[in-house]
A and B are shown apart, each in its own frame.
Chain A
Amino acid sequence: MTPFLTIRQATISLVIFCAIYAFIFLFGTFYIYRLIRVGPRGQLFEIPGLAFPNRPMSLADAAPIHEPSHAGAGE
């Protein structure tokens, strides 16, 4: 253990790393879940004209998904 790094500091950094990554991946998972719920639409595979190689996520740059009907399903 390095002399200056206290357990408290290491714990704090671990907790905030976990919190931020949990936040990000929670939304990422939610987004993928929504994509799966909507299912494939239109052409099965088409490379978007504006997809950039340095931005893998731009492959999914189709129009934003509109609210599926599941919002009212439980009522």
Chain B
Amino acid sequence: MVMFWVSLLAVSVLLYVLLDGVDLGVGLLFGLANGEARRGAMLSAVAPIWDGNETWLVVTAVILWGAFPVVYATLLSAFYLPLIVMLLGLILRGVAFEFRYKTQRLRWIWDLSFAGGSLIATFIQGMTVGALVEGLQITNGEYSGGEVGWLTPFAVLCGVGLCLGYALLGSCWLVRKCEVEVREIARHQIPVLAVGVLAFLVVVFAYALAENLPILHRWIDRPYLFVFPAIGAIAAIVLALSILNHNDYWPFYMVALIFLSAFGTLALSFWPYMIPFVVTVDEAAAPQSSLMFMFWGGAVVFPLMLLYTLVSYRVFRGKVGETAGYGHH
């Protein structure tokens, strides 16, 4: 039963990172874009899917709350302010989608909110993972790091790294969904962002070595973990080839594969801990009766959610027409 909920959690987190990573990344690139035509096309590329993507964040939170209450409580105590700010960033960018077409003079406010909200949310997600990897200060099962215990150079570095990563995912999505100008610009952004992500990974690895982070020992204990970076490296090579061949579809799948391998790396180097080296999955799990009670909710709702996600991506497949703006007629 515990494994059922762990699997659900893993799938939700992965889907959230992959799917919302796309539209958060497009939001980041939106901040760099100029010209209404380009901005409109970028929004159209994510308009049908962005709000569905965020349901996976809700699912993640609900699973943590219901099935792993200790983790939910600890994470929320440790990251109280950053997570609230992240939610506000997501709210602001969601509203910006709707409001920007209602004004012309003040459109810049909503464009700024959209890009800014995406940036804040992405940065905080990366920073949270970074702080978890580095290890939270926990005494007697309670978080004791203080209000800003998560604020370390490593966590900030991870925040910047995730911004690069999501922007890379977003640029690949734009290549896939858009045409002409937007696609060409995104195609030129991919190598820059990919090199940025690579540099970030090198720095993270060097930092982990220098600081002798406990997570590194797991890698020495479990050499099979190197399968994931290997998959990531192969995906990066295919990504480079697909960019050289001007392919519109492969870059997105390859970056998704890189994210998948990064996620697998992290998940397996945490395992069996949920909060590294403090709380294991079994310790974190709610009582068996609670897990059983929620089982049918998960077993029925979860497949339905997967189904509607698949259906909505199928319905909105293909290229976005250049003039089909989000709010235009």
Chain A contacts to B: CB under 8 angstroms: 2-6, 8-9, 12-13, 16-17, 20, 24, 27-28, 31, 48-50, 54-55, 57-58, 60-64
Among B96-104, B176-184, B284-292, the one that faces the other chain is B96-104
Pick from A28, A48, A57: contact of B329, CB below 8 A: A48
Tell me whether A64 and B85 are in contact in the complex, defined as CB-CB below 8 angstroms, given that A5-B77, A6-B147, A50-B329 are known contacts: no
Q: Is the CB of A13 within 8 A of B84?
A: yes
What total of A-B pairs shows CB separation below 8 Å? 55
Q: Is the CB of A20 within 8 A of B99?
A: no
Nearest CB of B to A26, in Å = 11
Nearest residue, chain B, Cβ from A21: B91
Q: Is the CB of A27 within 8 A of B77?
A: no
Q: Is the CB of B77 within 8 A of A64?
A: no
Q: Given the complex, which residues of A lie within 8 Å of B103, measured CB to CB?
A: 31, 64
Q: Is the CB of A54 within 8 A of B51?
A: yes
Q: Given the complex, which residues of B lie within 8 Å of A6, measured CB to CB?
A: 147
B92 within 8 A of A: yes
Pick from A5, A16, A28, A62: contact of B88, CB below 8 A: A16
Q: Is the CB of B91 within 8 A of A20?
A: yes
Nearest CB of B to A66, in Å = 8
B253 within 8 A of A: no
Besides A9-B81, A12-B81, A20-B91, 13 more A-B contacts (Cβ < 8 Å) are A2-B77, A4-B144, A8-B147, A9-B80, A9-B147, A13-B80, A20-B88, A24-B92, A27-B106, A50-B329, A54-B51, A58-B327, A63-B329
Q: Given the complex, which residues of B lie within 8 Å of A60, measured CB to CB?
A: 102
Q: Given the complex, which residues of A lie within 8 Å of B81, measured CB to CB?
A: 9, 12-13
Q: Is the CB of B92 within 8 A of A20?
A: yes
Q: What are the 7 tightest A-B residue pairs by CB atom distance, in nearest-first order?
A: A4-B77, A13-B84, A57-B98, A20-B88, A24-B95, A61-B327, A9-B80
B142 within 8 A of A: yes
Cα distance A16–B78 when bound, in Å? Answer: 18
Q: Is the CB of A55 within 8 A of B98?
A: yes
Cα distance A26–B78 when bound, in Å? Answer: 32
Task: Please name 15 pairs of A and B residues whose Cβ atoms are closer than 8 Å in the assembled complex, sorted by A.
Answer: A3-B142, A4-B142, A4-B143, A9-B80, A13-B80, A17-B88, A20-B88, A20-B92, A27-B99, A27-B106, A27-B109, A49-B329, A57-B98, A62-B329, A63-B329
Q: Given the complex, which residues of A lie within 8 Å of B142, measured CB to CB?
A: 3-4
Nearest CB of A to B86, in Å = 12
Q: Given the complex, which residues of A lie within 8 Å of B84, measured CB to CB?
A: 13, 16-17
Nearest residue, chain A, Cβ from B107: A64
Q: Given the complex, which residues of A lie within 8 Å of B147, measured CB to CB?
A: 6, 8-9
Q: Given the complex, which residues of A lie within 8 Å of B144, measured CB to CB?
A: 4
Cα distance A69–B71 when bound, in Å? Answer: 57
Pick from B85, B102, B143: contact of A31, CB below 8 A: B102
Q: Is the CB of B143 within 8 A of A61?
A: no
Cα distance A31–B102 when bound, in Å? Answer: 8
What mask results when residues 68 to 79 of chain B are scored 1 for a CB within 8 Å of chain A, else 0? 000000000110
Nearest residue, chain A, Cβ from B74: A4
Nearest CB of A to B90, in Å = 11
